[in-house]
Structure 1
Amino acid sequence: MSPPWHAGVLTIFPEMFPGPLGLSLAGKALAEKRWTLDVIDIRNFATDKHRSVDDTPAGGGAGMVMRADIAAAAIDAARAEMPDGTPTLYLSPRGRTLTQERARALAQGPGVILLCGRFEGVDQRVLDARNVEEISIGDYVLSGGELAAQVLIDACVRLIPGVAGNESSLAEESFASGLLEYPHYTRPREWEGRAIPEVLLSGDHKEIAKWRREQAEALTRERRPDLWERYKKP
């Protein structure tokens, strides 16, 4: 058997993990060792008695910057425990946006090493020297990379075989086919004057599939024209 998918997280707040990753599907899979988590405190690689990991930005300006030498030592320690070629990702709003396609590709690999930034960011030299890829979970700024790392890990872990209770549902959710997911309904049949669409109660699976596809296409056209344009291309 191949080793379980592994997430190595580099952070100055190790107590934030596993956090929500210890609950629900991800937490159960972690307990079952379908994936593993190693949290490394970047401050362990500090060189002074105060365990400082940052310094003032070159050229002046507000805030502080994580030092290249300390971040590099943490990255090297994490890489020593992982297979060669394991991607090292820096959670940053400057990075390429995380997509379902990328999460699936990462889930199929050995795992990830995630560098969680703080302050004004990380010294660019360590990103260049260690070939660290920047990745973003959206066009907004967080106080640090820890929450973004948890989002990325959850997006990957749920795609590991055996983690999702009904894996066939993964094929129908948003982005799996390039479209947003169709609406869902359940009992009661009528609620506050709103009824379940009759086609879903018809038992005609062909018509239900057609309705769901039409709904997915309509939602994608309305809410995500960028996805719709890519979906329409041959």
Structure 2
Amino acid sequence: MTSWLEFKKIKRTGILPVFTVGGILAASIPILNLMMRSEDFLYPEGNPLAILISSNWQMIAMLNVLLILSGACLLYSLEFSDDAIQKMKSLPIKESQLFLNKVSLLICLSLIPLILEMIAMFVGVGYWFELYEGFGLDLVQNFGFFFLMTLPTILLALLVATFFESVWVSLGINVTAVFLAIMIYNKSFSLSLFPFALAFQRLHHTNQDSQRIIAVLVEVVVITIGEVLFLKTRRHFA
């Protein structure tokens, strides 16, 4: 089963339009803030991009995470509907490969809002401030960091979705975890490493950024191994 087949399966779910519309909504946040409260952004001194990100990223990140959770739950609800998972077990297809295909698909979908948000930041800085020297590199570094921080969220959301046939149960657990992440993401460095809390982190160009990137890589490996072991166990005892 290829990632292309996964993409074909989501056509009837509306996931692609949801990520596009959600990305437009998230990208509009800094633009609307600049239009309505431009005086609050223009007077503070400092890096214009850093000002926009620090003022808007929490709300943008929350929308991004909710899109990821919805996508993860919908992707696996397709497999649980009409006993598709049970039928697949009679075929020479590894469930772990199915999981990795869905991870790849959800990563591609999550890039849609990030790209739209990058464009919004470019427009915001270019129109209301000024495109300073090194802005392009700064923009790519920030959004590259944001992308890395979402990887554990994608994997953990899909991991939770594989446990429950009911899309509402998996969605409820994931949303509860997001609200927990909102409360703890800035309390301490150790709490900020919670997979859902990482999506709310911003690039500060400190040693903690490097430590968070290392933590992301470790979490990606651990969650992937845990998922593969769970799927093998479920296939054996189901």
Q: TM-score, normalised by structure 1?
A: 0.24
Greater relative contact order, per chain length (Cα 8 Å cut-off, separation 6+): 2
**Structure number, greater radius of gyration:** 1
- TM-score, with normalisation over the residues of structure 2? 0.24
Q: Which has the higher strand share?
A: 1
Higher helix fraction: Structure 1 or Structure 2? 2
